[in-house]
Structure 1
Amino acid sequence: MGLPSKLLAGLTLLLLPTLASAQDFPAKPIKLIVPFPAGGPNDIIARVIGQRMSEIAKQPVLIDNRGGQGGVLGTDAVAKAPPDGYTIAISSAGALAISPSMEKVAYDTLKDFAPVTLVATVPEMLVVATNVPAKDMKELIALAKAQPGKLNFASSGPGSLPHLAGELFKLTANIDIVHVPYRGAAPAVNDLLGQQVQMTFLDLPVLLPQIKAGSLRPIAVGAPERAPTAPEVPTTAEAGMPGMIIENWYGMVAPAATPPAIIASLHKITTEAMADPTVKEKLAAQGATLVGDTPEHFRGFIDSETRKWTKVIKDAGVVTTK
């Protein structure tokens, strides 16, 4: 039985503003929140893609850097924004999949955001200081087992992806190495160069200049394939650790109640920008691999990553503040 004509007409009138806004989207500038300070990998990726999005959408895409709490504060701003597609974010693995398992945050990732697309992955690279007498993964593990509790690894902070990468390394290799947290990647790299710490996992672009200069020794890259910017470095699988795929990632999200038609428009604009050869070239030089999946696949990916790192946190006995 069909709906009464008056009810059908009323429903149509209610839907018209949403349909019209979706068809006209975007009709004004889009605010793209980057939940980290300017100059880092997240910011570079957002600016390169955002510039091309502006050209495709014929509306400015305005970068809004809102650093704090490892990406949590800026990401939370999107959860609380009007669900109209005009405030979105390119956020990170830490803020979307790790921090909610480590600390009290004001959002539930899968309930408070509408995933748009997984934008890019950036592999974590395991490097050691040049005074460490290990040339490869086998030698490094043997050294750690011969000196339990004596070797240490630096990270960019408690609960960061580099911290959990080190914990996963400990669990996988069954070794005892000590975590030394820093307030960011730069001071961690500085002390590694000064041989105050022995090793670290960090985003490949952060370490690449020191690797090329011979100031740090690469051991393995946590990606399924070798990195084009460091093709001489084996993957963790090639180094005998196939369970250690460790990649940072950056994905676009919008507020949860954003209409599906607007999510579809954002997805189309973003993936078209990512397909641009100039965008690909610029981001490949940063060590980033562009992805561009569907909103549904990205939702499943976030869930999978959350489960993966929650297990590491639990198995390693990492202290949380939840």
Structure 2
Amino acid sequence: MAAFPDKPIRIVVPFAPGGGTDAITRTLGVGMANTLGQPVIVDNKPGAGTIIGTDFVAKSAPDGYTLVMATFAHAVNPALQPKLPYDTRKAFAPVALIGASPNVLVVRADSPYKTLADLVAGAKARPGKLSFASQGNGTSAHLAGELFKNLARIDLVHVPYRGAGPAMTDLLGGQVDMMFATAAAAKSFVAAGKMRALAVTTAHRSPAYADVPTMAEAGVPGYAAESWYGLYAAANTPKDVIDRLNAAVRRAVKEAPFVQQTQTEGLDVNVGSPDELDRYVRAEEVRWRKVVQDNHITID
């Protein structure tokens, strides 16, 4: 049998071209190709909250030639979608956690809320009156807001949009009060003075927002939520193939183009073993299932 790999490798991105996941995957793929000696092709298969692209990989041959770049949705979909076409825990073989990045709680620059404490006080004074935008039901931005409601004991109205762009447009236009935006999406607006960053959602401060406190530092103890990227193959892919892919990821994240891309994304790169990805995502599944159930979250 020929040594792996002896043909191009495909990484499925379950989102449309042009977003953060697409950019990270394309840059990673170039670095992996340098190590593996074969082209790494990015295949965008958006739709159904990442389920279409993810299902494609679940049903692919377990040979390491078809991978999926999983994100936050991979851990949350089992709670949101009781009839997934695959078993998340049994259909995939973990390859590597790439890293994690914060969402950033932002308000308009002219918002009366200068700090997170101001915002919490305002929400308590006007229960059910303040709103937060997201790029859709069940997204990291949505669940970050639901966790905020739970831990701060406030009542906010969730306003879902079809994508981050329209959500941020309405935030700037005054139709909604706040948003848990991705670090990359918010950065240019914050830098231009159009938005104010009140807090980052991760447990530790982000190098991309060094002067912005964490949610916990700013007054919501125990708060932590992050977006992440993890690479999976189909279940039963041979261990030696998984190890080869993992090694290629480890080298790719150290190359200059990827380092530059992660700085733009605010991504904290932390490539570990396949088992580390598996443990991390299983813990995410459990944690967010509780938020989904406690807050009675459903998607259309």
* TM-score (normalised: structure 2): 0.96
Q: 1:222 aligns with which of 178, 201, 206?
A: 201
Gap regions ≥5 residues in structure 1: 1-19
Contact 2:203 2:223 in 1 (8 A): no
Asked if 1:101 is matched to 2:79, the reply is yes
Asked if 1:68 is matched to 2:47, the reply is yes
Over the residues paired in the alignment, what is the CA RMSD in angstroms? 1.3
Q: 2:5 aligns with which of 13, 23, 26?
A: 26
Give the structure 1 partner of residue 33 of structure 2.
54
Give the structure 1 partner of residue 127 of structure 2.
148
Secondary structure of 1:109's counterpart equals: coil
Deviates further, 54-63 or 130-139: 130-139
Contact 2:24 2:258 in 1 (8 A): no
Measure the CA separation in 2 of the matches of 1:320 and 1:58: 42
Secondary structure of 1:111's counterpart equals: coil
Q: 1:260 aligns with which of 228, 239, 260?
A: 239
Contact 1:122 1:288 in 2 (8 A): yes
Q: Tell me the amino acid that sits aligned with residue 98 of structure 1.
A: V
- Cα offset for 1:278? 3.7
Q: Tell me the amino acid that sits aligned with residue 197 of structure 2.
A: P
Measure the CA separation in 2 of the matches of 1:294 and 1:224: 22
Q: 1:291 aligns with which of 241, 252, 270?
A: 270
Secondary structure of 1:63's counterpart equals: strand
Larger of the two Rg values belongs to structure: 1
Gap regions ≥5 residues in structure 2: none
Asked if 1:194 is matched to 2:159, the reply is no
- Cα offset for 1:320? 5.2
Give the structure 1 partner of residue 115 of structure 2.
136
- Cα offset for 1:130? 3.0
| Residue-by-residue CA offset, 1:39-89 (whole Å, 9 max, x unaligned) | 101001101110011111110001111111121111111100000000011
- Cα offset for 1:102? 0.3
Measure the CA separation in 1 of the matches of 2:264 and 2:155: 35
Measure the CA separation in 1 of the matches of 2:203 and 2:127: 29
Measure the CA separation in 2 of the matches of 1:85 and 1:319: 34
Contact 1:131 1:195 in 2 (8 A): no
Contact 1:89 1:252 in 2 (8 A): yes
Secondary structure of 1:166's counterpart equals: helix
Asked if 1:236 is matched to 2:215, the reply is yes
- Cα offset for 1:170? 0.5
Q: Tell me the amino acid that sits aligned with residue 226 of structure 2.
A: E
Give the structure 2 partner of residue 5 of structure 1.
none
- Cα offset for 1:288? 1.4
Q: Tell me the amino acid that sits aligned with residue 149 of structure 1.
A: G
Measure the CA separation in 1 of the matches of 2:6 and 2:298: 46
Q: 1:163 aligns with which of 126, 142, 149?
A: 142
Give the structure 2 partner of residue 3 of structure 1.
none
Deviates further, 124-133 or 158-167: 124-133
Aligned residues: 299
- Cα offset for 1:276? 2.3
Measure the CA separation in 2 of the matches of 1:145 and 1:241: 14
Q: 2:89 aligns with which of 110, 131, 156?
A: 110
Give the structure 1 partner of residue 102 of structure 2.
123
Contact 1:155 1:180 in 2 (8 A): yes
Contact 1:48 1:279 in 2 (8 A): yes
- Cα offset for 1:132? 2.7
Q: Tell me the amino acid that sits aligned with residue 169 of structure 1.
A: F
Measure the CA separation in 2 of the matches of 1:317 and 1:100: 14
Contact 1:129 1:197 in 2 (8 A): no
Q: Tell me the amino acid that sits aligned with residue 79 of structure 2.
A: S
Give the structure 2 partner of residue 4 of structure 1.
none
Measure the CA separation in 2 of the matches of 1:45 and 1:109: 23
Over the matched positions of the two proteins, sequence identity in percent amounts to: 43
- Cα offset for 1:129? 2.2
